[in-house]
Amino acid sequence: MERPYAVPLLLDEAGFAAAASWYVEGFAKRSGIKVNLDLPPQLGRLNHDVEIALFRTLQETLTKVHRHSCSSVVDIRLKLENKHLLLQITDNGKGIPPEQMNRLHEGMADIGIGIAGMRERMRELGGSLEIRSGPAGTEVVVIAPVLDQPPIDSKGERKSMPTVSVA
């Protein structure tokens, strides 16, 4: 069975935390950019759609950092807060030029498919994506809901493993 959008097998099998750790390690080696990854120690499996959206956002953001930011360090933090996940990705690069930031905030089509795709994925889940930038770097902030339905396995079936729940 072909996996949609070439989702890493590790994401399907082990979840966001394992896939993010694997991806970040490879990114740091390929790019030479130091990456600090802070994930909740007891992060279990999340809803499949949430895991994919978070992972795609992580991939796209790190790609943009590598191509455009001239950053030497990226800090990635995932926190659970009140039935929501907060993903913050911050670099110490040169920032996004003000005219491009204006286009980003206005939702202009010329900002690229990657950022538009990240925003759309989050909106579909009932979450949000915000980008802040200045001369000391850029921060991408994603808020995604913790959905109660179990994740889907690679065969398209719901897994019976517990999902994360936040009281």
Buried b (16+ CB within 10 A) or exposed e, 101-110: bebbeeeeee
More confident: 108 or 72: 72
Residue 157 has pLDDT above 70, yes or no: no
End-to-end CA distance of the chain: 37
Number of domains composing the chain: 1
* DSSP bridge pairs for 36: 75
Q: Which residues contact 144 (CB under 8 A, 6 or more apart)?
A: 50, 53, 54, 84, 85, 87, 122, 125, 127
Is 8 a domain residue?
yes
**Percent of the chain topping pLDDT 70:** 80
- Entry pTM: 0.82
> Is 158 within the bounds of a domain?
no
In a domain, 44, yes or no: yes
- Residue 149 falls within a domain, yes or no? no
Report pLDDT digits (tens) over 36-93. Answer: 999 998 888 999 999 999 999 999 999 999 999 999 999 999 999 888 999 999 999 9
Whether residue 152 lies inside any domain: the answer is no
CA distances from 137 to 34, 70, 99, 119, 148 (A): 14, 9, 16, 20, 35
Rounded distance between C-alpha atoms, residue 30 and residue 25, angstroms: 9
Q: Answer whether residue 15 is part of any domain.
A: yes
H/E segment holding residue 102: helix 98-106
More confident residue, 94 or 8: 94
Examine the pLDDT at 109 and tell me if it is beyond 70.
Answer: no
**Could you tell me if 125 and 147 are in contact, meaning their C-beta atoms sit under 8 angstroms apart?**
yes
- Domain assignment present for 70: yes
> What CATH number did the domain enclosing 132 receive?
3.30.565.10
Q: How many other CB atoms are there within 10 angstroms of residue 47's CB atom? A: 20
Domain range for residue 103?
A: 4-144
